[in-house]
């Protein structure tokens, strides 16, 4: 950075230039991490100061008490059980919902007549929030595990399908024309041109759906659940354990963050060909 | 398929029935929105493309030359009349008619090798032969060493070479090129014209080449078809009697300049008359 370190007139060798580039990348990563962690630390600090000025520790438990709540939850297994139960519901509901969304969304986006048939149905279902289906789901399926998973699945499906369809309708026509003049037919073009060129859109849908799935989880676990992070939230409120409510919120946030990071990693591997992928 | 041809002879226009490709009274309308009359873009287009010939189509922008090429590719079905390949009407796109586009049509999610092999896979070439054919064409366009690169890592000129390798590897009967070098810088364009001619000298496929660059048309072609605009019709067909093989120096010859100037004046006067009157002119052959 400072010109004196190498001297302004000294010619740098290629090896030095490569080392310089690597150092620049490393430095950027270090800044990214340390600023991110510092920001979280500031939030915790501000919260801690707030708890000090408050006269009701039951409503604003200090950070130490929250940490204690977390440790207790892990020790007695209640937090671990709740987390695993919720993860399982999200994984199944989200997986099924998104799989159906990718299949249905790409078929209706790609094949015009499938679109004519499915567009009115899907577009009429979309404005209805997934939570609004809960009463009907309870009437039809009772209040079991499948009802909770179904609600999460519906939420994932509805938020994923829009961008899958949009991606299919934005495939550059020149790729399709090129494939056709090479002798490719409908099915091959769908699988080898339409799908890969929609991958960025499909992943945008998957990431939005992930948020929707977690968002619906708590509501889904209101359906008479005895386990899960949503249940923990509710129980914490009922028994006036504010620290448990906060712990559950943090765990939901951290898991959502990690799952999104995983999706991003898969996406940038799948999109390693794209000029827009950041490395 | 054209093994008997000598290097210098110009394909003749007569000898109907032996044409590799032909346009037969093609007329084509575009929809213009409800209530309005459809737009006539091509009117009564007829000409023959002799086997093994390099034929260019030139004309003012909007004369429908790209649409005409897409009709030959089978990507567009004309309103009336038809295009022919080997005497049979063209009804659909397939691997017999390879096409190179002005836009970047190299699939960005596949590597150079996978792009070239895509064409072979689409036409169901034996798995065991794909690798060898792909390697051969990647080598011929000078991209050896870039087999595993993604298109984003290549320059515009290199991507066009991938396109050429891909289309040559799929071994179509005819090549259709829609301003393939139009988006490249001048230097790269000259270089690729050179390389295209070399490839063509090695494998004399029939080529139909759309361009608005008159130098390019004269340099590459045996025949130049001039289209008049609004609606597109054949105004004239010019045999290019410059001997082959042609080199960069060919562009400096008297004959080369005569031909390009003649074409320029013709397109200019067509443009003027099409603006003053919409009366279609009868096609004439300038020899």
From chain B, the residues in CB contact with A269 under 8 A are none
Neighbours of A180 (CB within 10 A): 24
Per-residue pLDDT, B16: 47
* Contact check, Cβ <8 Å, B152/A181: no
CB-closest option in A172, A180, A188 to B75 = A180
Tell me how close the Cα of A196 comes to any Cα of chain B, in angstroms: 7
With beta carbons under 8 A apart, name residues in chain B contacting A183.
94-95, 119, 122-123, 170
**Which 8-state DSSP code applies to residue B281?**
P
Which of A173, A180, A182 has the most B C-beta neighbours within 10 Å, making it the best mutation to test the interface with B? A182
Question: In tens digits, what is the pLDDT along chain B, a chain of 287 residues?
Answer: 344 444 444 444 444 457 899 999 999 999 988 888 899 999 999 999 999 999 999 988 888 999 999 999 999 999 999 999 999 999 999 999 999 999 999 999 999 999 999 999 988 888 889 999 999 999 999 999 999 999 999 999 999 999 999 999 989 999 999 999 998 999 999 999 999 999 898 888 999 999 999 999 999 999 999 999 888 999 999 999 999 889 999 999 999 999 999 999 999 888 888 776 554 444 544 54
Name every chain B residue with its beta carbon within 8 A of the beta carbon of A199: 109
Contact B150 A272 (CB under 8 A): yes
Residue A278, class by beta-carbon neighbours within 10 Å (0-12 exposed, 13-18 middle, 19+ buried)?
Answer: exposed
Helices (H), A10-169: 14-53, 63-75, 78-110, 112-125, 134-141, 145-168
- This complex has an ipTM of 0.87
CB–CB contact A182 B98 (8 Å): yes
Question: What residue in A sits closest to B103 (Cα-Cα)?
Answer: A174
User: How far away is chain B from the Cα of A279, in angstroms, using its nearest Cα?
Assistant: 14
Pairing between strand B174-178 and B39-49?
unpaired
Q: Give me chain A's average pLDDT, please.
A: 90
Helices (H) and strands (E) in chain A, counts: 11, 0
CB contact under 8 A, A177 and B73: yes
Tens-digit pLDDT profile for residues A82-133: 999 999 999 999 999 999 999 999 999 999 999 999 999 999 998 898 888 8
Looking at residue B232, what DSSP letter applies?
A: B
Other CB atoms within a 10 A radius of the CB of residue A117 amount to 12
- The pLDDT score that the predictor gives to residue B4 is 40
User: Which residues in A lie closer than 8 A to residue B109 (C-beta atoms)?
Assistant: 196-197, 199, 273-274
Reduced to 3 states, what is the DSSP secondary structure of residue B178?
Answer: strand
Nearest to A181 among B98, B109, B110 (CB): B98
Q: Is B171 left (phi over 0), alpha (psi -120 to 50) or beta?
A: left
pLDDT at B280: 47
Question: How much of chain A, in percent, has pLDDT values that exceed 70?
Answer: 96
A245 contact partners, CB below 8 Å, separation of at least 6: A232, A233, A236, A237
**Contact check, Cβ <8 Å, B152/A273:** yes
Q: Do B95 and A181 touch (CB under 8 A)?
A: yes
- Chain B residues closer than 8 Å to A193 by CB: 107
Return the number of CB contacts < 8 Å for A and B.
71
What is the band of A277 on the pLDDT scale with cuts at 50, 70, 90?
low
Q: Contacts of residue B123 in chain A, CB cutoff 8 Å?
A: 182-183
Q: What is the mean pLDDT of residues A144-166?
A: 93
* pTM exceeds 0.80 for this model: yes
Q: How confident is the model at residue A40 (pLDDT cuts 50, 70, 90)?
A: very high
Tell me the per-residue pLDDT of A221-269, one tens digit each, with 9 for 90 and over.
Answer: 877 788 899 899 988 888 999 999 999 999 999 999 999 999 999 999 9
């Amino acid at each position: 950075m400072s010109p004196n370190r190498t001297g302004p007139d000294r010619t740098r060798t290629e090896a030095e230039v490569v080392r310089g580039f690597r150092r620049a990348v490393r430095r950027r990563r270090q800044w990214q991490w340390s600023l991110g962690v510092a920001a979280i630390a500031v939030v915790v600090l501000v919260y801690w100061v707030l708890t000090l000025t408050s006269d009701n520790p039951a409503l604003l438990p200090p950070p130490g008490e929250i940490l204690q709540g977390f440790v207790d939850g892990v020790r007695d297994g209640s937090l671990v059980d709740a987390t695993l139960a919720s993860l399982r519901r999200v994984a199944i509901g989200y997986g099924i919902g998104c799989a159906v969304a990718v299949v249905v969304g790409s078929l209706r986006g790609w094949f015009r007549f499938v679109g004519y048939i499915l567009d009115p149905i899907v577009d009429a279902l979309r404005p209805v929030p997934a939570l609004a289906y809960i009463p009907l789901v309870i009437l039809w399926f009772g209040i079991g595990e499948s009802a909770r998973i179904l609600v999460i699945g519906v939420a994932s499906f509805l938020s994923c399908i829009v961008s899958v369809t949009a991606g299919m309708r934005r495939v550059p026509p020149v790729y399709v024309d090129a494939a056709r003049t090479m002798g490719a037919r409908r099915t091959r073009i769908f699988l080898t041109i339409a799908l890969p060129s929609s991958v960025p859109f499909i992943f945008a849908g998957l990431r939005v759906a992930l948020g929707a799935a977690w968002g619906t989880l708590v509501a889904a676990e209101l359906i008479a659940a005895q386990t899960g992070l949503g249940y923990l939230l509710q129980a914490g409120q009922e028994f006036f354990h504010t620290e448990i409510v906060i712990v559950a919120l943090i765990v939901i946030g951290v898991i959502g963050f990690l799952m999104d990071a995983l999706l991003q990693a898969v996406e940038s591997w799948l999109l390693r060909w794209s000029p827009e992928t950041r490395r | 398929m054209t093994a008997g041809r000598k290097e210098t002879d110009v394909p003749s226009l007569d000898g109907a029935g032996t044409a590799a490709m032909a346009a037969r009274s093609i007329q084509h309308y575009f929809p213009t929105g409800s209530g309005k009359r459809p737009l006539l873009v091509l009117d009564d287009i007829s000409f023959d493309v002799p086997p093994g010939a390099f034929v260019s189509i030139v004309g003012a922008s909007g004369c429908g030359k790209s649409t005409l090429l897409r009709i030959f590719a089978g990507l567009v079905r004309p309103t009336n009349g038809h295009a022919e390949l080997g005497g049979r009407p063209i009804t659909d796109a397939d691997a017999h008619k390879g096409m190179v586009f002005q836009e970047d049509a190299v699939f960005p999610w596949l590597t150079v090798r996978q792009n070239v092999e895509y064409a072979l896979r689409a036409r169901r070439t034996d798995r065991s032969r794909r690798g060898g054919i792909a390697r051969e064409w990647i080598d011929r366009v000078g991209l050896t060493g870039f087999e595993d690169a993604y298109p984003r890592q290549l320059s515009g000129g290199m991507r066009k070479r991938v396109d050429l390798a891909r289309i040559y590897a799929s071994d179509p009967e005819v090549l259709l090129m829609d301003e393939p070098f139009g988006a490249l810088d001048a230097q790269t364009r000259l270089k690729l014209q050179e390389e295209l001619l070399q490839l063509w000298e090695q494998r004399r496929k029939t080529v139909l080449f759309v361009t608005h660059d008159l130098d390019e048309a004269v340099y590459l072609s045996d025949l130049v078809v001039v289209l008049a605009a609004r609606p597109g019709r054949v105004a004239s067909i010019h045999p290019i009697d410059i001997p082959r093989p042609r080199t960069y120096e060919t562009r400096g010859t008297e004959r080369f300049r005569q031909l390009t100037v003649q074409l320029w004046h013709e397109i200019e006067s067509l443009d003027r008359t099409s603006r003053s009157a919409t009366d279609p002119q009868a096609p004439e052959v300038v020899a």
